[in-house]
Structure 1
Amino acid sequence: MNKNIAIDGPAGSGKSTIAKIIGERLNLMYINTGAMYRAITLKALRENISYTSVDKLEKLIEGTELYFEDDQLFMDGENISQEIILPETSNNVSNYAAVPKVRRMLVKKMQDMAKKFDVIMDGRDIGTVVLKDAEFKFFLSASAEERANRRFNEYKNNGVEVDYNELLEDIKRRDHIDSTRETDPLAKADDAIEIDSTKLTIDEVVEKIMNYVNK
């Protein structure tokens, strides 16, 4: 059985950064599942396909090639790692990710990866749906204000001008959509270890997780 680690949490909780570091330390393939949803959102927006057009979304996903290379996400041969973190994609991804058909198709892709490789995945429903039998499960949380501040600094460091209050409202809106959607809502798995990262540095969270894994 492959070694699998699941890390879940709301937007801006630090899942991706931390999962990437853990993956490097333990020699696991890091799969950013949120980036996969963002990729489909980006392509749908480019092609003016609404999240309500399920049939068109199904065909879009069937015709899309996604793969990770050196922590960069490629879609149909194009490196989209920077474009998928821009506000337009971020503000729309929860709507597309809430579509049951979209989730089923992408979850299947994720599970196929986990069967072939030792992986660490982060997302909203990894411990509850995608990797229900993962050896280790973690749920990262943080206050909405702290998560908005992290996103603000992330955009600022990438030269993107954004308004903090708008980011905070978007975080709260995404939390509501993610936790109340009908299919695979954001939730902590019963056997997951919860870590509140509000007052912790990235290194401190990493060490907490490594301590659990090494036990």
Structure 2
Amino acid sequence: MKRINIALDGYSGTGKSSTAREVAKALNYTYVDSGAMYRATTLFFIRNDIDPRDHSQVVQALKEIHLNFDDNEINLNGENVASEIRTMKVNEMVSHISAIKEVRQEMVSQQQEMGHFKGLVMDGRDIGTVVFPEAELKVFMTASADVRALRRQKELAEKGIEEELSAIKANLLERDQIDSNRKESPLVKAEDALELDTSKLTFETQVGKIVEWAKSRIYES
């Protein structure tokens, strides 16, 4: 049976990470949350007062950041930071840190190494365009801003974090603007990506649809 790489891109709050995780489980593939890598890097910058405008500080910081996944949860220098990287403080900074050329180059290099042997599901914003432009299946996920804000509020509440819906929506729209217009690896739909609007889909339906697309690529002659 052929093994493929699956790239899931799209806006914040479309369910990329949770969907990618379940797709990987259904196919017995490896799941990598690329967004968690950028969030963990952002958390390191915040904790260590790294000035993102200072090139030397950024370069030195990247040398001190060691990331790995344990049971699909991100570790930053040996510490599980899966919950801390989802706070609003990180939300407000992650798009700015992710737009830094050196940060993207380092993360993309690590991500490409992870996908060398295929059988990978990775979600993010530039997976199908930059990280794995040759991925056998590319999916671009969308949803309305209102739906995405409600989903993010619920996700935060489940982690014990209470945030106003209006603040969450404003943050999502700001991130859309930054991600879509940044110079380095902007958020765009790959020409050969299949678009999936999740606004009115159940979680099970969106997972099932992508698994169906994946199997058609896996078993095609």
TM-score of the alignment, normalized to the shorter chain, above 0.5:
yes
1:142 — aligned with what? 143
* Number of aligned residue pairs: 215
Please identify, of 113-122 and 16-25, the stretch whose mean Cα deviation from structure 2 is larger.
113-122
Q: Check if 1:27 corresponds to 2:22.
A: no
Kindly provide the CA deviation profile for residues 105-146 of structure 1, in whole angstroms up to 9, marking residues without a partner as x: 110010011114521100000000000000110000001111
1:36 — aligned with what? 37
SS of corresponding position for 1:50:
coil
Q: Check if 1:213 corresponds to 2:202.
A: no
Tell me, which stretches of 5 or more residues in structure 1 are unaligned? none
Matched ranges for 1:73-152 at <5 A: 73-152=74-153
How far apart in 2 are the matches of 1:36 and 1:116? 20
Report runs of 4+ in structure 1 exceeding 6 Å deviation. Answer: none
2:155 — aligned with what? 154
1:170 — aligned with what? 171
- How far residue 27 of structure 1 moved from its aligned partner, in angstroms, is 1.3
Instruction: Name the TM-score, length of structure 2 as normaliser.
Output: 0.94
- Kept in 2: contact 1:2–1:114 (CA 8 A): no
Kindly provide the CA deviation profile for residues 150-179 of structure 1, in whole angstroms up to 9, marking residues without a partner as x: 001111122111010011111000000000
Kindly provide the CA deviation profile for residues 29-79 of structure 1, in whole angstroms up to 9, marking residues without a partner as x: 111000000000000000001221232122211222111111111111100
How far apart in 2 are the matches of 1:204 and 1:50? 43
Please identify, of 52-61 and 164-173, the stretch whose mean Cα deviation from structure 2 is larger.
52-61
What is the CA RMSD across the aligned residues, in angstroms?
1.2
Please identify, of 149-158 and 6-15, the stretch whose mean Cα deviation from structure 2 is larger.
149-158
Tell me, which stretches of 5 or more residues in structure 2 are unaligned? 217-221
- How far residue 2 of structure 1 moved from its aligned partner, in angstroms, is 5.5
How far apart in 1 are the matches of 2:117 and 2:70? 16
1:184 — aligned with what? 185
2:8 — aligned with what? 7
Instruction: Name the TM-score, length of structure 1 as normaliser.
Output: 0.97
1:69 — aligned with what? 70
1:58 — aligned with what? 59
- Kept in 1: contact 2:50–2:61 (CA 8 A): no
Please identify, of 151-160 and 7-16, the stretch whose mean Cα deviation from structure 2 is larger.
151-160
How far apart in 1 are the matches of 2:162 and 2:214? 39
The one-letter code sitting in structure 1 at the alignment partner of 2:215 is: N
Please identify, of 120-129 and 56-65, the stretch whose mean Cα deviation from structure 2 is larger.
56-65
SS of corresponding position for 1:92:
helix
